Amino acid sequence: MKSLPKVIPPRSRVRLVRFEKRTPAWRKDVSREFRVGYYSRKDGLGCIWLVNEDGKYEQTTDREFLLKYFDVERLSEERNFYGQGKRRLGKIHGRTPLERLNGSTSIDVTKERRKYGRRTTRIPYAQSSASCTMVRGR
């Protein structure tokens, strides 16, 4: 993953991966997924709001704690840090089978596909013999 910017963009997806004596309340939340919420002008860009699965602004942290206890799974391209004119973050929808298998969203896969071109080369004998029989009649 590319290096993290100074201000982690809203809508980025993070997962709690560790806790310690200073953060015992996080023990039950390990492996929980959050999104970075829009920043508040009152709190400033140093106060990172974590949005839970239901779309509620649940808790705050700072960049140091975020990098220490969370893994950034997906870095958003959002540039509007305060969310002016944007809708509130909604619920996190369940992951698709593709995301569960390889951790990539279908949007990420589409972007990757565009990067390498739409056509992919086919490997002539990559199909199983059963499907070859059904298709070719042999």
Query: Residue 83 belongs to what domain range?
Result: 13-91
In total, how many domains does the chain have? 1
Over residues 45-62, the pLDDT tens digits come to: 999 999 998 889 999 999
Band (pLDDT 50/70/90 cuts) for residue 9 is very high
The answer to whether position 115 is within a domain reads no
The answer to whether position 18 is within a domain reads yes
Q: Indicate if the pLDDT at residue 79 is higher than 80.
A: yes
Q: Provide the pLDDT for residue 63.
A: 92
Burial class (CB in 10 A: 0-12, 13-18, 19+), 66: buried
The answer to whether position 117 is within a domain reads no
Q: What is the mean pLDDT of the chain?
A: 75
Q: Is the overall model pTM greater than 0.75, yes or no?
A: no
Q: Indicate if the pLDDT at residue 122 is higher than 70.
A: no
- The CA distance from 12 to 35, in Å, is 5
> Is-contact 92 122, C-beta < 8 A?
no
Q: What is the DSSP string of the chain?
A: -PPPPSSPPTT-EEEE----TT-GGGGGGTT-EEEE----TTT-TTSEEEE-TTS-EEEEE-HHHHHHHEEEEE------TT-TT-PPP-PPPPPPHHHHHHS--HHHHHHHHHHH-S--PPPTT-S-HHHHHHHH--
The answer to whether position 106 is within a domain reads no
The answer to whether position 54 is within a domain reads yes
The answer to whether position 73 is within a domain reads yes
